[in-house]
Structure 1
Amino acid sequence: MLPYVLNWGVVATGGIADVVTADMRKVPGVNVLAVSSRQLARAREFAAKHGVERAYGDYRELLADPDVHVVYVATPHGQHHEVAKAALEAGKHVLCEKAITLTVAQAEDLVATARARNLFLMEAMWTRFNPLIRDVRALAANDAIGEVRTIRADFGFQHDFDAQDRLWAKEAGGGALLDLGIYPVALAHALLGEPESVTAVGALAPTDVDADAGVLLSYPHGAHALLSCSLVATYETKAEIVGTAGRIQIADPFYNPTRIVVNGVEHTCADGGYTHQIREVVERVTAGDTESPEMTLDDTLAVMRTLEAALHQIGVDYTTVA
């Protein structure tokens, strides 16, 4: 039986780890005990900033720490499978940044490992736990806008090309779809489920990752999602769900909204951020659950199948680096 206070280990010290760790410290039941980085000096600097007791120069040292209960994997996508699998094999529960892996096969391997070892595993799709997104899902499920027919969502910004940058480097899992496109795809999945068909177009960067993408997800009886993402053009990061009896507009940024408009009526919420998904992990792990009912492992696998199908149509194959 785990104690109520869960000791967390953070693998990597980049921007996302910095922001999420700051939010971890706001959640009851969380003690950020350890951090690792390939450079011990960076781990120590991160530890000092966030009040973390232990700093390691290798993630394997963190995984060997018997006092760590939960591991948050915040490395670039290309390392997610390696680190998350090692954490599960070390007997740790895992929260892994999205996209959970580079390929469906890798994701299936992580899910099988977690289930075989009876350990908690969740992809860090924080949008699912935003209070307004929870409201959107409930409203759509309860026919507040009738039958959902169309979803439109975009996420893009200009990011200067640099072959060594993680957003452009193939070995790091770079490209628009895995980093940005996963948000609109996951939103469509949350409301309409896994599509019957996927159609994608896009352009390749010199590093053979997708620079941008347009994706059409098709569902039974003509329902569809029109989604786009880009690392070369800036979009308004809004979303709209249109039904037979109304519409829901999700304000920018739709992946962490503070405002939605439902059939002309505004709803607001200032309590966004990463704390909601951290609370979910704490509640599930302390209850002995091995996955979240709001962000199931089957959901993660379904989104990965859609992303992989789109990537293959654009000409991106991560099996060469996975």
Structure 2
Amino acid sequence: MSGLSRPRTALDSAAAADAAFAAVAGKPFPADLFSAPRLNWAVIGCGVIANQMAQTLALAGRHLVGVANRTYDKARAFAERYGVERVYKTYAELYADPAIDAVYITTPHNTHIAFLREALAAGKHVLCEKSITLNSAELAEARALAAEHGVVLMDATTILHMPLYRKLLAEARSGAFGPLTLAQVNFGSYKEYGDLTNRFYNPRLAGGAMLDIGVYALTVARLFMASAPDEVVSLANRAQTGVDETSGFVTRNAEGELGVFSLSLHAKQPKRALLSFDRCYVEITDYPRADRAVITWTADGRHEIVEAGEEGYALAYEVADLERAVAGDAEAAGLIDIAADVMDVMTRLRYDWGVYYPEERAIAEAAGVSVAGE
């Protein structure tokens, strides 16, 4: 299909999710979205993203089977709202329940590794919200546990699962676009300074732009690159709490493919990815849950719109991919390799900037620097 992309109105993430749900609410759920045997799911945490998952599954006529939360009353209220059958008083009860096949972890970044250790060791498949861990060492540990216990570990960064990217990647890998030369990716949010204890600026909640929004920017670029970057140069400004607030960085891999990135937590930017290939460039706006891209062909300047999937089903695609991986789909199972490459770059950048979280105190001390916020 040719033409120009239709305009979008800037919305915050919660409003954008609500709008995406509204857009698909009256449509029949795609019959082919879930192609693998169905698993019984439980969620850890009852925040915004857990609510979105419950709402997404409801569109498919599915329900979470279990829920656990730090506060039992919140878990019970969540269960009543979404028809969840099992409410656990402790996380250990969830892990011990043979009726649960897979766990979705939606808690703050710095709590993920503790939940991953226990859930994976209990033989549960795990879908974990971004950022999947704080650093590369934690992710390597989690991957080793998953391998040891024969279960699937999957990163829930939406870009890894949206059908649009699968469609674009198929074209890129066919050679239609030619070699990738440059990826330029922006992501800027405006988070108020008023409450510096919130998760965006609080080092005790693993705040900062890199783990919150940088993971998206790096993931969309890495998907289309031939290999992981081995060179990184950067500059960053830190918030008064010590976490990274604004940054610009450039990556390069062995093939010479460049990634140019800008992030900010206190300056609004469009969520825009521009992937420049030999024969075209591909522009994707609102790329974390994108269902549309515009290709501009170098030879004649022609615009081509590519559409796949629906933004409103973003979390359903994550569930479908984990179930496919459990059923033996190698492509779905291999998504964790992309996540690991991204985590390597995020960890390297944070440490270059001297941004260490309290959980990384020993690493910070070895580097001769202080922990963020201290």
Could you say whether these structures have the same fold, taking a TM-score greater than 0.5 normalized by the shorter chain as the test?
yes
Answer yes or no: is the 8 Å Cα contact 1:26–1:275 preserved in 2: no
Confirm or deny that 1:292 pairs with 2:354: no
Q: Percent identity?
A: 30
Q: Which amino acid aligns with 2:293?
A: I
Distance 2:332 2:209 in 1: 27
Q: Which residue of 2 aligns with 1:275?
A: 316
Q: CA RMSD in A?
A: 2.1
Deviation at 1:212, TM superposition (A): 1.8
Q: Which residue of 2 aligns with 1:236?
A: 270
Match of 2:169 among 108, 131, 137: 137
Deviation at 1:160, TM superposition (A): 1.4
Match of 2:71 among 29, 35, 39: 39
Distance 1:294 1:13 in 2: 28
Match of 1:227 among 261, 282, 305: 261
Deviation at 1:43, TM superposition (A): 0.6
Deviation at 1:221, TM superposition (A): 5.2
Answer yes or no: is the 8 Å Cα contact 1:170–1:321 preserved in 2: no
Deviation at 1:64, TM superposition (A): 2.4
- Unpaired segments ≥5 residues, structure 2: 1-35, 297-302, 364-374
Shift in alpha-carbon separation, 1:249–1:8, aligned structure 2, 3 A: same
Deviation at 1:167, TM superposition (A): 1.7
Shift in alpha-carbon separation, 1:4–1:138, aligned structure 2, 3 A: closer
1:142-181 aligned at under 5 Å gives the runs 142-161=174-193, 162-181=195-214
User: Matched residue of 2:245: which SS?
Assistant: strand
Confirm or deny that 1:266 pairs with 2:299: no
Shift in alpha-carbon separation, 1:211–1:57, aligned structure 2, 3 A: farther
- Unpaired segments ≥5 residues, structure 1: none
Corresponding residue pairs, total: 316
Answer yes or no: is the 8 Å Cα contact 2:164–2:309 preserved in 1: no
Distance 2:290 2:119 in 1: 32
TM-score by length of 1: 0.92
Deviation at 1:61, TM superposition (A): 2.6
Deviation at 1:22, TM superposition (A): 1.7
Distance 1:291 1:135 in 2: 13
Q: Which residue of 1 aligns with 2:233?
A: 199
Shift in alpha-carbon separation, 1:241–1:15, aligned structure 2, 3 A: same
Deviation at 1:190, TM superposition (A): 0.8
Answer yes or no: is the 8 Å Cα contact 1:10–1:32 preserved in 2: yes
Deviation at 1:194, TM superposition (A): 0.6
Confirm or deny that 1:310 pairs with 2:349: yes
Distance 2:329 2:147 in 1: 11
User: Matched residue of 2:289: which SS?
Assistant: coil
User: Matched residue of 1:216: which SS?
Assistant: strand
Q: Which residue of 2 aligns with 1:187?
A: 220
TM-score by length of 2: 0.79
User: Matched residue of 1:32: which SS?
Assistant: coil
Confirm or deny that 1:255 pairs with 2:288: yes
Answer yes or no: is the 8 Å Cα contact 1:128–1:294 preserved in 2: no
Shift in alpha-carbon separation, 1:269–1:228, aligned structure 2, 3 A: same
Distance 1:23 1:267 in 2: 24
Distance 2:330 2:69 in 1: 27
Confirm or deny that 1:25 pairs with 2:55: no
Q: Which amino acid aligns with 2:352?
A: Q
| 1:247-272 deviations in Å (ceiling 9; x for gaps) | 1111x211111321112111234523
Distance 2:80 2:331 in 1: 32
Answer yes or no: is the 8 Å Cα contact 1:5–1:31 preserved in 2: no
| 1:8-46 deviations in Å (ceiling 9; x for gaps) | 110001111111222233447x54111111111111111
Distance 2:176 2:161 in 1: 20
Q: Which amino acid aligns with 1:261?
A: V
Q: Which amino acid aligns with 1:227?
A: F
Q: Which residue of 2 aligns with 1:58?
A: 90
Q: Which runs of 4+ in 1 moved over 6 A?
A: none
